[in-house]
Structure 1
Amino acid sequence: MKFRLERDVLADAVAWAARTLPSRPSMPMLAGLLVEAGPAGLTLSSFDYEVSGRVTVAADVDEPGTVLVSGRLLADIARALPAAPVTITSEGSRVEVRCGRSSFTLPTLPVDDYPSLPDMPGASGTIPGVTLAAAVAQVAIAAGRDDTLPTLTGIRVEIDGSSITLAATDRYRLAVRELQWTPEVSGLETNALIPARTLADTAKSLAHCDLVHLALSASGAGDGLLGFEGDGRRTTTRLLDGEFPKYRALLPSESATVASVETGALVDAVKRVSLVAERNTPVRLTFSGGEVELRAGAGDEAQATEAVECAVDGDAIEIAFNPQYLLDGLSALDDATTKLSFTTSTRPAVLTGGSSEGAPAYRYLLMPVRLSG
């Protein structure tokens, strides 16, 4: 095998393919990156039986061939190479990477032991990359991180015709985002539970694509697959099995109090007041008149208070939140104004963008911290 390509092209492709490599592979060859040089150019692939990645880039191929090398080592080398064309050749059980006056020699892993990558499910539709990345980022913040509760570590994807609904919850907050896409067949209805980390990382890496092809296997659970493809890059991930909570029942249908506040001012106030909040200590918010008063700390501890102007429609209410969870929701809204809807101080609050008209595309439901005294 022998091929040449630009250093930046190689570094970018290797970094993308290597991003899904397992940190603790169950078998040595799963730490490898499959390097294939052929008429179509250079193809790099990774697979750990859960997530696969493949990228194809243009390269001048003198001798086609296939080798398996350490993915993380190749990524480190490609990133450190000087700005010059790169020549990669293989002979026997060694691979040489040459760039300018730099040269590296890597041992190869047995190609025959490497598993075959799964095929992409049948194409289901397309969505702009930037739209997908933004929507997934808004929802992923609420996904659980406790691997003992695997169902809560996923993002539920519901497809109903030209509408997609994304939802995630860790039991303390819930994020729901609705968006439009272009399905290839009309009347498509299905759902899937996708690992949140994989979905967030993949969507972010494909944000630059004009269109991303989404492909969902028909099973929708268990051994099903979700595939993404755009600009020569392809990823598949296995779906999570399990019953996602019936989250729609958690969203209140009416509110006793609705407050509208400038998002940036509230974010800054929460950050300042929470400086005195000890670990797991909430920030109290009192909405009344034309302001919201924020308080943290009590007794002999450090204390902080701050007031922010806001419009309050309804009864005055005092409620407390985990400050980081509140900041996550405010940041995810991506709106100059935040609307907070309350029923009681012991029931979840719903944050939505204050500038949107009609039904909000994004809703962030946050459980309050019960106040004592």
Structure 2
Amino acid sequence: MKLTLERDALAEAAAAVAKSLPAKAHVPVLAGAKLTAADSTLTVQGFDYEVSQELHVRGTVTEPGSTLVSARLLAEITKALPNKPVSLATTGAHLELVCGSARFTLPTMPVEDYPALPEMPESAGTVDAAAFAAAVAQVAIAAGRDESLPMMTGVRMELSGATMALLATDRYRLAVREMEWQPTKPDAAINALIPARTLHDTAKALGPLGGHVTIALAQQTAGEGMIGFARDTRRTTSRLLDGANYPPVRSLFPATFAANAVVPVAALIEVVKRVALVAERTTPVLLSFNADGLIVEAGGTEEARASEATDATFIGDPLTIGFNPAYLIDGLTNLGSTHAELRFVDAFKPAVIHPAGSDGEVIPGYRYLIMPIRVSR
């Protein structure tokens, strides 16, 4: 194998593959990036039997061929290279990489031992890349991190006709985003539970490419299934989580509310961050609402305390409610709006945050539910 290509394109492809692979592979070849040069294209592949990545990079191929090298080492090297064309050439059991006056020799692994990547499932439809990336970012923040509860570490995708709904919860908060998409079949009705980290990384990478992303789904049977995402020279597949017993999380949203507040998002985020400096990890921040506005408070060790007032338009009886500051900031940061509307039942029931305009009108499509932390005063 011998070819020359642009440094930035190679670095991007190597980084994408390396990021998708586990830190420690059980089988050495699964830590590798497979490089295949043919027809003026370098194909970079990674696969760990859970997630696969395939990216195509244009180049000048002198000798076609394939090789397998450490994905992480390749990503680190290409990221550090000067912005000059890169030459790759296999020599015996090594890959020679030359960029300007920089020269690297990487050991290769047996390419014949590398597993074949799964085929892309059948296309279910397409969605705007930028809108999809924004929607996934809004929802993935609420997914669980505890691998002992795998169902909570996923984002549930509900496809019903021309509507796509994304849901995620870690039992302490719940995010729901609804948006339009273009199904292949107008009467499509499909549910899938996708690992949140894979979905977030994939959508984040595809969003800047613009255009539309193809979503491909293989029918789940006995808790198994696969989803694929494709855009131009890039494709990703991932196994699905078993979502057969996913809880009816939409029922967590209260049917009625007793109070609501409209607050400027940026100002509230800054206030919560400052006040939370004195809070311990498990200590909530207290939000006290009344007709005059909002006071944010927190207390920590050795009688450290903080409070700060900020603007809010509040309707209802005076209310003091406590939240995990990190969860509250996550929800506010991902609203994508200048203002937020917070709806309350009481100090002990879940609160719901909606994006809103400067006039206080709710912007439909996104809801972020957050469980309060009981406090005694």
Provide TM-score, normalisation by structure 2: 0.95
State the Cα deviation string for residues 254-275 of structure 1 (Å, max 9, x = none).
1110111111221122112112
* 1:309 aligned partner, one-letter code: D
Q: Any conservation in 1 of the 2:283–2:300 contact (CA below 8 Å)?
A: no
2:20 partner SS: coil
Q: Any conservation in 2 of the 1:220–1:239 contact (CA below 8 Å)?
A: no
1:56 partner SS: strand
* In structure 2, distance between residues paired with 1:56 and 1:127: 22
* 1:92 aligned partner, one-letter code: G
Q: Give the Å deviation of 1:101.
A: 2.0
User: Which aligned pairs between 1:265-344 and structure 2 lie closer than 5 A?
Assistant: 265-297=267-299, 301-344=303-346
Q: Give the Å deviation of 1:360.
A: 2.2
Q: Give the Å deviation of 1:111.
A: 1.2
Matching residue of 2:370: 366
* 2:55 aligned partner, one-letter code: V
Q: Give the Å deviation of 1:302.
A: 1.2
* In structure 1, distance between residues paired with 2:303 and 2:201: 40
* In structure 1, distance between residues paired with 2:68 and 2:143: 35
Matching residue of 1:66: 66
* In structure 2, distance between residues paired with 1:17 and 1:281: 39
* In structure 1, distance between residues paired with 2:218 and 2:10: 31
Q: Any conservation in 2 of the 1:221–1:239 contact (CA below 8 Å)?
A: no
Moved more, 94-103 or 201-210: 94-103
Matching residue of 1:253: 255
* In structure 2, distance between residues paired with 1:367 and 1:154: 19
* 1:296 aligned partner, one-letter code: A
Change (3 A) 1:221 1:318: farther
State the Cα deviation string for residues 9-34 of structure 1 (Å, max 9, x = none).
22122222222122110100001110
Change (3 A) 1:205 1:299: closer
Change (3 A) 1:230 1:16: same
Matching residue of 2:237: 236
* In structure 1, distance between residues paired with 2:361 and 2:319: 25
* 2:312 aligned partner, one-letter code: C
- CA-based RMSD: 1.6
Q: Any conservation in 2 of the 1:94–1:108 contact (CA below 8 Å)?
A: yes
Moved more, 44-53 or 333-342: 333-342
Q: Give the Å deviation of 1:162.
A: 0.9
User: Which aligned pairs between 1:87-102 and structure 2 lie closer than 5 A?
Assistant: 87-102=87-102
* In structure 1, distance between residues paired with 2:28 and 2:40: 28
Moved more, 213-222 or 129-138: 213-222
Q: Any conservation in 2 of the 1:292–1:310 contact (CA below 8 Å)?
A: yes
* 1:245 aligned partner, one-letter code: P
Q: Give the Å deviation of 1:81.
A: 2.1
Moved more, 214-223 or 346-355: 214-223
Moved more, 310-319 or 186-195: 310-319
* 2:376 aligned partner, one-letter code: S
* 1:100 aligned partner, one-letter code: G
Matching residue of 2:223: 222
State the Cα deviation string for residues 77-116 of structure 1 (Å, max 9, x = none).
2122222222111132221112222222222111111111
* In structure 1, distance between residues paired with 2:38 and 2:214: 25
State the Cα deviation string for residues 125-181 of structure 1 (Å, max 9, x = none).
111211111111111111110111111010000000111111111111101111111
2:326 partner SS: helix
Q: Give the Å deviation of 1:40.
A: 5.2
1:258 partner SS: strand
* In structure 2, distance between residues paired with 1:196 and 1:226: 13
Q: Any conservation in 2 of the 1:192–1:220 contact (CA below 8 Å)?
A: no
* Aligned positions, number: 373
Q: Give the Å deviation of 1:231.
A: 2.6
Q: Any conservation in 1 of the 2:280–2:300 contact (CA below 8 Å)?
A: no
Unaligned runs of 5+ residues in structure 1 are: none
Change (3 A) 1:311 1:234: same
State the Cα deviation string for residues 172-215 of structure 1 (Å, max 9, x = none).
11011111111122111001111111110111011112211111
